[in-house]
Amino acid sequence: MNDILGNQNPLERHLGYWMRLVSNEVSNAFARALADRQISVAEWVALNHIASRAHSTSSAIATSIGMTRGAVSKILDKLESKGLVSRVASADDNRVQTLSLTRDARRLLPKLTAIADANDDHFFSVLDESDRNALRALLQKLADLHQIRDIPIE
Amino acid sequence: MNDILGNQNPLERHLGYWMRLVSNEVSNAFARALADRQISVAEWVALNHIASRAHSTSSAIATSIGMTRGAVSKILDKLESKGLVSRVASADDNRVQTLSLTRDARRLLPKLTAIADANDDHFFSVLDESDRNALRALLQKLADLHQIRDIPIE
DNA sequence: TATTGTTATACTCTATAACTATA
DNA sequence: TATAGTTATAGAGTATAACAATA
C-alpha cells in the first residue's frame, strides 16, 4: 500500500524515511513497554552497560551512549532512587565511582530483557528468517561502513 | 567490527537495535544539516505537507504526523514567523485555515530537498543498487505488515 | 593542570486540557 | 454539541558550563 503511488511523496523517495518510519515504530513500542515498568530507554541501556562489565563507570556510559556526563549523572540518580544501582567510590581513584546493580536490579533485568525480546520478536517475526538475516546484514553493513559507534537512546 | 564478538551484547541481538543505530545516524545528520538553515525536521515535514496538497490544514498535518493540534500550531507559528507559511481563513468554513507557502518558502524548499537528497545519498550510496533495493523492499514490507502510518518526525 | 562526577540553568519539544470562535 | 485552532501549563530529556574533589 505504501508504494501504490510509486513513492511520489518527496519524503518517501528516501531510504532514510523508511528507516525512520520502521525504527520509530519498534522503538516507541519498546519505550511504551518499558514505561509500564517505570523505566526509560536510557535507563535500560545504562542497566545493561553496568550488567555487562565488571567495573562500569559514569564516564564510560557517557562515552558509550554519546551523552554528556551531566545527563548520565541524572540517569544514575534515577536508577539509584529506584534502588537499582549503587555507586561506590573506587579504591584506586577516589574520583571514580564503580557502578553495580542491586539485587532488585539483577532480578528485574531478565524481565526487561524478556520485554525487549518480545518486542523485537513481535515486530520482526512477520518476516521469514532469510529476510531477517538479510535485513540484519544490511544494517550491520551500514553501521560498519559508516563506523557508527554510539548506542542509540532516542 | 560491530559483530566481531558475535553480538554477545544483549542489545545487539535485536534487529530493532540495529534499526535504531542506523536510523539515528541518518536522521541526526539530516537534522543537523537542516539546522544550518534554522529549520527543524518537524518544520520540514510540515512544509512538504503544505507543498504537496492544494488545501493543507493544521488538523490534517496533525493527523498525518501523529502530533497534537497544539504542537502543530506552534510549528506553524514558527514557520509563519520565518515568513515561510501563511494562514488564510477558509471561505467555506471560518474555523478552518488554509495553509500555503510563501514565495520565500517556494524558493527555499528545493534547497531543502537537495539537502535531504544529498543526506540520503551520502548515507546509502555505500550500498550497491541491489542492496538498496533489498533494504527498501524489506522496510516497506515491515511498514505494510504493521500498517505504520504516521510520518516520522523524531 | 587534567579528570570524575555533580549541579544550576536553560532550552527544545511535546502533551494535556482549557479556551475562543465558529458550525 | 462538535470541530478548528490557540494558548497556558507542565513535564521529559538533554546540553552547557561552572563547580568540588581528587589525581
CATH number of the domain residue A65 falls in: 1.10.10.10
Radius of gyration of chain A (CA): 19
**CA-to-CA distance for A20 and B139, rounded, in angstroms?**
10
Closest CA to B22 of A144, A123, A117, A2: A144
Q: Quick check: is B20 in a domain?
A: yes
B54 at A interface, C-beta within 8 A = no
Asked if B14 and A118 touch (Cβ cutoff 8 Å), the reply is no
Q: Quick check: is B40 in a domain?
A: yes
Query: Distance of alpha carbon B71 from its chain centroid, rounded?
Result: 16
pLDDT above 80 (res B26):
yes
Q: Quick check: is B4 in a domain?
A: no
Average pLDDT over residues B67-83: 97
Asked if A87 and A80 touch (Cβ cutoff 8 Å), the reply is yes
Kindly report the backbone phi and psi dihedral angles of residue A138, in degrees, each rounded to the nearest multiple of 5, phi listed first: -65, -45
Q: Give the CA count within 13 Å in the CB-facing half-sphere of B142.
A: 28
* Strand partners for B99: B56, B87
**CA-to-CA distance for A108 and A115, rounded, in angstroms?**
11
Asked if A129 and A113 touch (Cβ cutoff 8 Å), the reply is no
- Please report which confidence band the pLDDT of residue B80 belongs to, taking 50, 70 and 90 as the band edges: very high
Q: How many domains does chain B have?
A: 1
Q: Quick check: is B5 in a domain?
A: no
What does the pLDDT read at residue B142? 98
What does the pLDDT read at residue A4? 41
Residues 59-98 of B with CB within 7 A of strand D: 59-60, 69-70, 72-74, 76-77, 87, 93, 95-97
Q: Quick check: is B3 in a domain?
A: no
pLDDT above 60 (res A89):
yes
- Give B99→chain A minimum CA distance, Å: 18
Average pLDDT over residues A101-114: 98
- Please report which confidence band the pLDDT of residue A8 belongs to, taking 50, 70 and 90 as the band edges: low
3-class SS of residue B97: strand
**CA-to-CA distance for A13 and A126, rounded, in angstroms?**
24
Whose grid coordinates read 522503538? A27
- Please report which confidence band the pLDDT of residue A10 belongs to, taking 50, 70 and 90 as the band edges: confident
Domain that holds residue A122: 10-145
Whose grid coordinates read 504516521? B150
Asked if B34 and B40 touch (Cβ cutoff 8 Å), the reply is yes
**CA-to-CA distance for B44 and B29, rounded, in angstroms?**
14
**Mean pLDDT for chain A?**
93
Residue nearest the C1' of D7 (CA based): B70
Nucleotides of C under 7 A from a protein CB: 3-8, 12-18, 21-23
Q: Quick check: is B46 in a domain?
A: yes
Which of A16, A27, A116 comes nearest B26 by C-beta?
A16
Listed range (A5-14, B35-44, B56-65) with the worst mean pLDDT: A5-14
Q: Quick check: is A3 in a domain?
A: no
What does the pLDDT read at residue B9? 77
Cell of residue B57, nine digits: 490544514
User: Which element (helix H / strand E) includes A37?
Assistant: none
- Please report which confidence band the pLDDT of residue B8 belongs to, taking 50, 70 and 90 as the band edges: low
pLDDT above 50 (res B1):
no
pLDDT above 90 (res B95):
yes
Q: Quick check: is A2 in a domain?
A: no
What does the pLDDT read at residue A150? 82
